[in-house]
Amino acid sequence: MSKLLEDKVFISTRPTGQSAELESLLSEESATLIAMPTIEIRPLPLDEFSWLQLKNLESFNWIVFTSPNGLKFFFARLFELQNNYGLPEHLKIAVVGKKTAAHLECYGTSAEFINLGNTAEDFSTDFYHRVSPGERVLFPIGNLARSVIEDKISKKAICTRVLFYETVIPDTINEDTLQLIIKDQYDMIILSSPSGCSNLLKLVSGKMDTATLRLVCIGQTTSAEVIRSGLEPLITAGMANSQGISSAIINYFQKKQLIND
């Protein structure tokens, strides 16, 4: 018996090395996933102010990680500074999502607060009630990070953001896969961030009608960027992770199959 996604081709725009789980999930339905990263995550050099914050972690009450990337590059710099991953005992950690929380195990620590929702808006609403007036909160983030959480929390606490990494378009793009998109020889393109969307549009602009792109968004934030760009997402996953994307795709084709039958 053929699988639901047999012979279907999906293209992942996630950064290099971040599509393995999704590839495994889709392959269970006999689909093919091709990686064509449209974003690259690079560490940023820290300026004097940023190093000072890192050296004075004991002055903070909370540290907030909004993604595994922020966590990864923060701890890399911390190790560079003190040759270990140790944090002040009183410093509490808050994270956006269970996936980010799981990465903390690699550094011998855990989160005090994990939000139940999938978005920055969900997190800021929940976290606001956990922060005490006047507390200091550190945000290790990237150059494209939104300020939704800080805007909310800063009404109650003192927020400090430090840039640890940047998101850029890769120096090289898989040209063969790009041609599959331009020639409409694929089924869906998977987007995991607003920057992934904007970079994809830059790559295909003037080479095809972008209105024909069949896009799958990891969550509402990415979906909003697609809509802002004048396009309509084919699918928006309910859960902002690989399982959520896979389930949303399978559900889409199951419904389509029922209609055709």
Contact 120, 66 (CB under 8 A): yes
pLDDT of 122 reads 84
pTM of the model: 0.83
Distance of alpha carbon 183 from alpha carbon 104, whole angstroms: 42
**Ranges of each domain in the chain:** 9-39+171-260, 42-168
Q: CA-CA-CA-CA torsion for 166, 168, 170, 176, nearest 10 degrees?
A: 130
Whole-angstrom distance, CA of residue 71 vs CA of residue 100: 8
CATH class of domain segment(s) 42-168: alpha beta
Tens digit of pLDDT for each residue in 122-158? 889 899 999 999 999 999 999 988 899 999 999 999 9
Class at the top of the CATH hierarchy for domain 9-39+171-260: alpha beta
> b/e string for 244-255 if b means 16 or more Cβ within 10 A?
bbbebbbeebee
End-to-end CA distance of the chain: 16
SS3 142: strand
Backbone angles phi, psi at 153, to 5 degrees: -70, -30
Mean pLDDT of 169-173: 93
